[in-house]
Amino acid sequence: MIEPRLESAKPSEWTTVSKDDALMRKLLAAFFTHEYHLSPAFYKDYFLEDMAVGQKHRTKNMCCSSLLVNAVLAWACCCCENIPNRFKYWCPENLGYRFFAEAKRIWEMQMVTGENRNLTSIQAAMVMNIYLNLSGLDKLGDLYGVRGIEIAKEMRLFDGNADVASERLRHARNFTAWCVFSIDVQLSLLFFRPALLSSPPQFKLPGPAINPNCLDCLIYLWTVYLEYLRSSLSLALKGLREQGRNYYLARTVYYIVRNQIQPEDRGLLMGAEDRESADDESPGLFGEVHSSWVARSVDISENTATEELSYLAKQYLTLETDE
């Protein structure tokens, strides 16, 4: 990851857990490469810019805090291959455990003093929520998410922020509002619970037309997100191909998906295609599918006839036979 803002950042000024800036920059690079784009909770550029300014020069409206830095570093440990046994969130020797323990300590202290009514506390609450969800502790994670949304409502984060004089802070608030709303929707769908927010923010999603400074961030997010989708599809195809050697159903789904891949994405099949794959390509594969199984999630009110496996096989697999 090439990010000049990250290269000038000194995380050690924001945490007592480690003084190894090189290691923590590597953790942050892994986080922004692999995790941030999936559920962003804060504006990356402002976060890194203010981190570089340092704790000693911190002002009230900065987009970086010790709480947020420790929370992000805890999550970052999950996606860095250099951290051994990083899934063991319960081990005190685990670096992620120590970062989260420090974030939790700061959070609880701010809850007592009332110093948590600020933008970075909302952002940290959402990060801690997701970190605990990834650890299989979503019942605990929800406590942070609920409180984060409560603080956001108290600060009228979703009401437009038109009265905020600082353009930079207004952009940060608007971006965070949409991040919080997005995370709330994702979690409500994932855990089959009502969303805590009944409506989206009362302003448009920040973008290049509203804030030109968002352009680089959005381009970066979409570039990494698309690459993530491509990688996920590649892994899914390989899994289907392997299962296809045992089950006809999996083999059929594999060829349906394969025949929908655009020519420029054929590289995704590398490692999945082999000599045995070529031997499988016979008219029998295309003509012996009689299944009403719906291969994807659909709304109960939808007409599923065009999603049944038999229809998809006829739609996509016979095309290859005719060529």
- Centroid of chain to Cα 259: 28
pLDDT top residue among 78 and 320: 78
**pLDDT at residue 166 is higher than 90:** no
Residue-wise pLDDT for 105-152, tens only, equals 999 999 999 888 999 999 999 999 999 888 888 888 889 999 999 999
Tokens 């440990």 — which residue? 77
Instruction: Say yes or no to pLDDT of 281 above 70.
Output: no
Name the 3-class secondary structure at 55. Answer: helix
Listing DSSP states for 183-242 in one string gives HHHHHHHHTT---S-SS--SSPPP-TTT-TTHHHHHHHHHHHHHHHHHHHHHHHHHHHHH
Q: Which two tokens stand for residue 186?
A: 């994702």
pTM beyond cutoff 0.85: no
Percent of the chain topping pLDDT 90: 34
Residue 86: CB atoms within 10 A of its CB come to 18
Nearest-angstrom CA–CA distance, 201 and 188: 17
User: What pLDDT shows up at residue 321?
Assistant: 41
Rounded CA-CA distance 224/18 in Å is 29
What gap in Å lies between CA 194 and CA 124, rounded to an integer?
22
User: E-strand spans in 41-189?
Assistant: none
Averaged pLDDT for residues 297-304: 62
Distance of CA 247 to the CA centre of its chain: 32
Q: Is the pLDDT of residue 227 over 90?
A: no
More confident residue, 194 or 296: 194
Q: Among 99-103, 197-201, 221-225, 233-237, name the one with the lowest average pLDDT.
A: 221-225
15-to-11, 12, 125, 317 alpha-carbon distances in Å: 7, 5, 17, 56
Lookup: tokens for 120: 């970075």
Closest C-alpha to 131, from 30, 39, 5: 39
Question: For the residues 83-109, what does the mean pLDDT come to?
Answer: 91
Average pLDDT, the chain: 79
At 229 the pLDDT is 64
Residue 184 pLDDT more than 90?
yes
What is the C-alpha separation between 108 and 228, in angstroms, rounded?
A: 35
Side chain identity at 281, as an amino acid letter? E
For 273, which DSSP code? -
21 pLDDT above the threshold of 90: yes
Would the pLDDT of 98 be above 90? Answer: yes
CA distances from 317 to 11, 91, 138, 284, 297 (A): 54, 51, 42, 11, 21
Q: Which of 32, 140, 144, 128 is nearest to 79 (CA)?
A: 32
237, pLDDT greater than 90:
no
Confidence band (pLDDT; 50, 70, 90) for 82?
confident
Give residue 67's pLDDT. 96
pLDDT of the residue at 239 = 74
Average pLDDT over residues 52-78: 86
Distance from C-alpha of 317 to C-alpha of 256, rounded to nearest angstrom? 6
What number is the average pLDDT over the span 245-261?
Answer: 66
CA distance 162 to 272: 53
Between CA 82 and CA 24 the distance in angstroms is 12
Q: Which residue has the higher pLDDT, 267 or 194?
A: 194
Q: Is the pLDDT of residue 320 over 60?
A: no
Which pLDDT score is estimated for 38? 84
Average pLDDT of the residues in 66-92: 89
Q: Average the pLDDT over each of 14-28, 41-55, 119-133, 232-246 and give the range with the smallest value.
A: 232-246
Look-up: residue for tokens 């923010």?
Answer: 201
Give the mean model confidence (pLDDT) for residues 304-315.
Answer: 70
Plot region of 156 (φ>0 → left; ψ -120 to 50 → alpha; else → beta): left
14 confidence band (pLDDT: 50, 70, 90): very high
Contacts 24+ apart (CB under 8 A), 50-59: 51/9, 51/10, 51/11, 51/13, 51/14, 52/5, 52/8, 52/9, 52/10, 54/10, 54/13, 55/13, 55/14, 56/13
